[in-house]
A and B are shown apart, each in its own frame.
Chain A
C-alpha cells in the first residue's frame, strides 16, 4: 500500500511548524538592509531584513515576514538560517534551487513560492549597498527583451517556467510569445531549458 505522504518533506514541515528568525517587531529592528517582494493580491509577499558586519562584509542576522503559504514560510525560514555568517557576495547568489536542496525538495508547483525569499534577500543586500554608498556594487537584474514583437523579457520567461511552463509550447500558451513573427522561437526554447535547469533539476 502506498504510504501516506505529507505534501512536504520532514524538513519543510519542521521549518513550517517552528519557523526561524521571524521579524516580530518591524519598527524596533535596526536593519542594515531591507528588501520586499511579491504582492498580497497575488497571494504572496515577503519582507527580508539583514544586519551586516561592515568590516567583514558578512551577514550577521537575517529576519523575515511573509503573507504566504507553507512553502514560502518554510523556504524563507531555511534561507534565513543559511545566510547567517555568509558573505554578502555568497548570499546574493543563493538560489531557489539551493534552498530547495536544503529543504529536501518542494513539490514542483510550490517552487514558485520559494523564490520569494531569495528575491527579497537580494533586494535587502542591494539596499545595504545603497545605504552605504556602495552603489557600484548594486547588482541590477536587467531584463532583456527576447520577443521583440510582444515585448516579452527573459524575466517573464523565467517566471513562466516557475509557474509551470516546461516546453516552448506551454510557454507560448502562457505568454503568447513568438506568435507574431516567430523569430524568437529558438531563443525562447533555449531559455525554457536554461530556467528549467536553474530551478528544477538535480534537487
Chain B
C-alpha cells in the first residue's frame, strides 16, 4: 500500500490554490515594470492595482492604505523600526515617547525586532497572557502610558490558535494615545478581519498562509498614520517601500484573497468539523493529554495538544514516517533546545511544552485524513511512552 501524504501544517505554510497558480502563470508574461509609462508597464500596473483593490476591499480598507511587502516578517519589522528610524518628516514619536508594548506570545519576528529595539534604547514591555493565551487587558491598560508610541499584539497565534479581542485592545491603546499594530498573518483569510471595525492603525498579512505564494505580504497603514519606510530609494508603494513590485507575487496574493472571499465561510465549517472530530478522537483514545489554547476563541483549523511523557520532535518524526506532517512548538528540531515560548507563556511547565504538537488543518484536508491520524497517533504516542522515562503507564 502506498504511504499516504497528509499535510497538517497549514499554519507553517499552505499549498497553492489551483486558481492562484493559474493566475500567477498568466502573470509571468506580464513582465513590464509597473513604474514604466509605456504599455508594458501600464499593463503590469493594472495587475498590481487590481490585486491591491481586491485586498483592500477584503479587509475593509481603501487601496491607498495597502502596501505590498516581501513577507509578513518585513511588514512587522517595518512597523517596529519606525520607533528608532523615524525622523521629523515621518512624524513618528518625535515629540512624544518612543516606547513599545507587545506580548510574550508574538511571532519571533516581533520578539527579535523588539529585543533589538530595546538594545537601541527603546523602552519595551511585554504583556502576559492567561492559560488560554489571551492577553491580559488590565495589564495592558497599566503598561500603556504617555511614553508609549506603539502597541503590537498579534490577532491569532500561530502555535496555539488563540484569537485576541483586537477591538477591545485597540480601544484601550487609543484611549492612551498610542498607535496600534496587529500581526494578522494567521488571521486574515481565516476569520473575518475588517480594519475599521477593529480600529487598528497598522495590520500585517501574508500570502502563503492562505494558499497564496511565498515572498509576498501586505501592510495596512491607516490613512493619516505616521509612517517611516524601512526600504528607501524608490517611489514604489507611494514612497513607502522601494523596490520594483513583485508582480507575480502580488497577483498571486490578490487571487488568494479573491478565493478567500469566496471560500472562507464554507472552509470554516469544514475545518471546525474536522477539528471537533480530531479533538474528540484524541481525547477518547489517548490518556494524559492537554489541549493548549482557547477552547472557542481559536482559529478554526488549529489544534495544539501536549502529551505527557512524549517528546515533541520524536512525535513529529514518527508521524512523518507514517506520512503525516505536523509541527512542534518546541524548536528542538530547528536547532534550539528551548521549549516553545508560547506554551510556556500559557503557564504550562516546560515538560509539557517539550511534548506538544501543533496540528493545523487546511482546505485540502478531509475526514479520511483525520481518521487516519486518529489511527496512527495513539500508536505513535504509545510507542514513545513505552520508552519514556517521564511516563508511568496508568494501570
Residues of A within 8 A of B (CB): 7, 16-17, 19, 22-24, 36, 40-47, 64-70, 72-73, 109, 112, 163
Given contacts A40-B351, A41-B350, contact A66 B388 (CB under 8 A): yes
Given contacts A67-B309, A69-B314, contact A43 B389 (CB under 8 A): no
Asked if A40 and B390 sit within 8 Å, CB to CB, the answer is yes
**Other-chain contact of A67, B330, B337, B339, B388 (Cβ < 8 Å):** B388
Name, among B310, B337, B354, B387, the residue most crowded by chain A CB atoms within 10 Å (CB to CB).
Answer: B387
Ordered nearest first, which 7 A-B pairs have the shortest CB separation? A67-B390, A69-B313, A43-B354, A40-B351, A41-B350, A109-B335, A40-B390
Q: How far is the CA of A189 from the CA of B339 in the complex (A)?
A: 30
Asked if A40 and B387 sit within 8 Å, CB to CB, the answer is no
**Other-chain contact of A22, B313, B321, B335, B386 (Cβ < 8 Å):** B386
Given contacts A16-B317, A70-B314, contact A65 B388 (CB under 8 A): yes
Question: For residue A77, which residue of chain B has the nearest CB?
Answer: B387
B5 within 8 A of A: no
Asked if A65 and B349 sit within 8 Å, CB to CB, the answer is no
**For the complex, would chain B's binding face be called helix, strand, loop or mixed by DSSP majority?**
loop
Given contacts A19-B387, A40-B390, A43-B311, contact A69 B350 (CB under 8 A): no
What residues of B have a CB within 8 angstroms of the CB of A64 in the complex? 387
- 30 chain-A/chain-B pairs, Cβ below 8 angstroms: A7-B317, A19-B387, A22-B386, A22-B387, A23-B387, A36-B389, A40-B350, A40-B351, A40-B389, A42-B337, A43-B337, A43-B350, A44-B311, A65-B387, A65-B388, A66-B389, A67-B309, A67-B310, A67-B311, A67-B388, A67-B390, A67-B391, A69-B312, A69-B314, A69-B333, A70-B313, A70-B314, A73-B314, A73-B387, A163-B337
Q: How far is the CA of A42 from the CA of B354 in the complex (A)?
A: 8
Q: How far is the CA of A163 from the CA of B335 in the complex (A)?
A: 10
Asked if B389 and A46 sit within 8 Å, CB to CB, the answer is yes
Question: For residue A46, which residue of chain B has the nearest CB?
Answer: B389
What sequence of 0s and 1s flags, for each residue 370-391 of chain B, a beta carbon within 8 Å of any chain A beta carbon? 0000000000000000111111
Asked if A24 and B386 sit within 8 Å, CB to CB, the answer is yes
What residues of A have a CB within 8 angstroms of the CB of B388 in the complex? 65-67
**Other-chain contact of A17, B310, B321, B350 (Cβ < 8 Å):** B321
B332 within 8 A of A: yes
Q: How far is the CA of A129 from the CA of B390 in the complex (A)?
A: 27
Question: For residue B339, which residue of chain A has the nearest CB?
Answer: A43
Shortest distance between the CB of A166 and any CB in chain B (Å): 14
Asked if B311 and A68 sit within 8 Å, CB to CB, the answer is yes
Name, among B309, B314, B391, the residue most crowded by chain A CB atoms within 10 Å (CB to CB).
Answer: B314
Question: For residue B385, which residue of chain A has the nearest CB?
Answer: A67
Question: For residue B321, which residue of chain A has the nearest CB?
Answer: A17
**Other-chain contact of A66, B312, B335, B339, B387 (Cβ < 8 Å):** B387
Asked if A45 and B389 sit within 8 Å, CB to CB, the answer is yes
Shortest distance between the CB of B219 and any CB in chain A (Å): 33
Q: How far is the CA of A110 from the CA of B311 in the complex (A)?
A: 14
Q: How far is the CA of A96 from the CA of B1 in the complex (A)?
A: 38
Q: How far is the CA of A22 from the CA of B382 in the complex (A)?
A: 14
Name, among A16, A46, A68, the residue most crowded by chain B CB atoms within 10 Å (CB to CB).
Answer: A68
Asked if B317 and A40 sit within 8 Å, CB to CB, the answer is no
What sequence of 0s and 1s flags, for each residue 331-367 of chain B, a beta carbon within 8 Å of any chain A beta carbon? 0110101010000000001110010000000000000
Q: How far is the CA of A150 from the CA of B314 in the complex (A)?
A: 37
Asked if B321 and A68 sit within 8 Å, CB to CB, the answer is no
Asked if B390 and A45 sit within 8 Å, CB to CB, the answer is yes
Question: For residue A109, which residue of chain B has the nearest CB?
Answer: B335
What residues of B have a CB within 8 angstroms of the CB of A68 in the complex? 311, 314
Asked if B349 and A41 sit within 8 Å, CB to CB, the answer is yes
